[in-house]
Structure 1
C-alpha cells in the first residue's frame, strides 16, 4: 500500500490519521509536539524528526496545521516537505488557509514534480472521530481521483471543487455560513433558558425543522451542559474569519454578519477563551443575562 505521511495530530488530525492507520496504510508522523502523536506511535506509526524526512519516506502526505505561515514553513521552509519530496509524490494540505497560498503550493510543487491538493475539512472533532468529515478539494482532478480512497477513510461528503485554491474558497463559504449561524444558535439557547423552557425539548422540536443546522444539533447540547471543550478552537475560527474577510475585501464584497461574528469572538479571545471551542460564544450571553 501507499506509504502515508501525516503532519498535525491535533483535535481533528489525530482522528483522521487514526482512520488512515486503521485502514492498513503504513503511517509516518511528524508534529511539533510529539506527545500528541503517542497513541498513533503506540499503534505502529513511525516517527520522523522533520517534514523533509517524512516526505522522503512516503508517497502521500497530509497536513492539517495552524496558520498559513505555519503551512508555508512546513512546505517551503528549511527541512520542509518540498525539500524532502520527490517526483510523483502527492501532498494534501487540509489546513484552512489562504486560497492564494494554495495556488502557490500547487505551482511550487508542480515545479518539483509533486502534485499538491488543497482539501480543507468541516465537521469538527465529532466528524473527525466518526470518519464523517466534509472535504472540499481543489487541484488536479486526476490526482483527486487517485487519492479518493484515502479521503474515504475519514470523510463522507467529499466534493472535488476545481482548480487549485477552490477547496480553500469553498471552506471560506463554509465558515461564513457557520459564523452567523453560531450567533443564532447561542441566542436561541439563551432565549430558551431565559423563558424557562426545557432546552432538550425545545431542541427536539426545532433541530429537524427550518432552524436545523449542524451547529444546532451538535453544539447547542454542549452549550446547555456548559461544555466548552474544543471541537474547533476559537483562535482558529478567528483566523478563518480573518482570511474570509480579506478575500471578500479583495473581491469588493461586504460581509457585515461575518464582521460582527469576528468581533464577538475576538472579545472572547481577549477574555482568555481562545483555546475554548467555538460553542463558548454562549458565555457571552451568560455574562449579559446572568448565569443561565
Structure 2
C-alpha cells in the first residue's frame, strides 16, 4: 500500500483529533502548542499528574493508549526508551494494535532506526501512516516551538503532517525513508556528546583561571566556539542550575543507540565513547535525573 491522502484534505482542527502520548518535559509543551492552535487533543501519560496543566487548558484525558488509538486520527508519541516505544505501538494496548486505517502516527522519541522501520511496516499493514520524527532543541525549544524535527518515512505523509509540525518547530526537514529520522538524530547526539565535554571544560577552566565565566561567554559564544550548548547550557552550569531540559539517563540511552549503530557500520566513535563513559560516571553518582549540563559536576568529583 502506498500513501494516498483521502481527498487531499489538509489536517485542520475541523477534521483532526490529535492523540498525544507522553507529557513530560518536552511533550507537555508540544501538546500545548497543538491545543493552542485549536486542535482537539487527547492526552495519555503513565503519571496523570504530569498532564494536569494540559487538562486544565482543555485537553481530554485517555485512560490508555488503546483508547487514544480508537479516538484519534493523528497520534504523536514522545516517551522514554525504545522498549517504551515498542510497547506503546505494538503491545497489547498499542496504537498500531488497535489503530484505525488512515491514522497518522508520529513517534518523536529518540529511538532506534530498526524499531522505526518495524513500526512503519506494522502500521502499513493496518493501513496507517507512520513516520519517525525525533526532535532536538531541549525544553527551551519545546516551550518556544522552535524545535528541529528530523523526519523519516514516506515523503507524502511528511507533507500531510507539515501543518502540525509547523506548530512545534522551525527547522523541519524530511530526511528519507523510515528510520532516517532516527539516524539523523544519532548524528545530532554524536555532535552534542563531544561538544558538551568542551563546553564543560571551558567553564571549569575559566573558573580555575580566576575569570568571570559570564564575561568569558560574551567573548566565546559568538565566535568560532559558538554552539547551542554553549549559549543555552553553559549559563545554567554557571548558575548551578542542573534541572533537566534533557535527562542524563536519556542521553546515555541515545549515546548507547548511536554507539551500537556506529559499530554495526564498522565505524569508530572515540569522542562519543568518552562522553558516554563520563555521563555514566555521573549517573552512578546519583545524577541520572539531572540535565545534561550537569556534566560540569564531573570536575567536582
TM-score by length of 1: 0.97
Aligned to 2:118: 104
Give the match's secondary structure for 1:153: coil
For the residues of structure 2 that align with 1:57 and 1:84, how far apart are their CA atoms?
A: 10
Q: What is the match of residue 81 of structure 1?
A: 95
> Superposed, which structure 2 residues align to 1:231-242 within 5 Å?
231-242=245-256
| Number of positions where the alignment pairs a residue of Structure 1 with one of Structure 2 | 287
State the alpha-carbon separation in 2 of the partners of residues 224 and 95 from structure 1.
Answer: 29
Please say if 1:113 is aligned against 2:127. yes
| CA deviation after TM superposition for structure 1 residue 84, in Å | 2.3
Partner of 2:287: 273
Give the Å deviation of 1:211: 0.1
- Contact 1:5 1:60 (8 Å CA) reproduced: yes
Unaligned runs of 5+ in 1: 288-292
Residue in structure 1 matching 2:36, options 1, 22, 27: 22
1:130 and 2:156 matched:
no
1: CA distance, partners of 2:265 / 2:96:
31
Structure 2 counterparts to residues 174-213 of structure 1, below 5 A:
174-213=188-227
The match for 2:78 is 64
CA contact (8 A) 1:54 1:84 kept: no
Q: Distance in 2 between matches of 1:284 and 1:82?
A: 42
Cα distance in 1 between the residues matched to 2:246 and 2:85: 18
| Residues in 2 aligned to 1:217 and 1:286: alpha-carbon distance in whole angstroms | 22
Q: Are positions 1:171 and 2:171 aligned together?
A: no
Cα distance in structure 2, aligned partners of 1:139 and 1:154: 18
Are residue 261 (structure 1) and residue 243 (structure 2) matched? no
Q: Secondary structure at the match of 1:252?
A: coil
Which residue matches 1:153?
Answer: 167
Measured against aligned partners, the alpha-carbon deviations of 1:51-92 in whole angstroms (never above 9, x if no partner) come to 111011111000000110000000010111112211111000
1:259 CA displacement: 0.3
Say which SS state the counterpart of residue 143 (structure 1) adopts.
Answer: helix
Give how far 1:286 is off.
2.5
SS at match of 2:32: helix
Question: Aligned equivalents of 1:221 and 1:242: distance in 2?
Answer: 27
CA deviation after TM superposition for structure 1 residue 199, in Å: 1.1
> Any unmatched runs of 5+ in structure 2?
1-12
After superposition, the CA RMSD in angstroms is 0.6
Is 1:95 the counterpart of 2:106? The answer is no
Match among 33, 40, 60 for residue 46 of structure 1:
60
> TM-score scaled by structure 2?
0.95
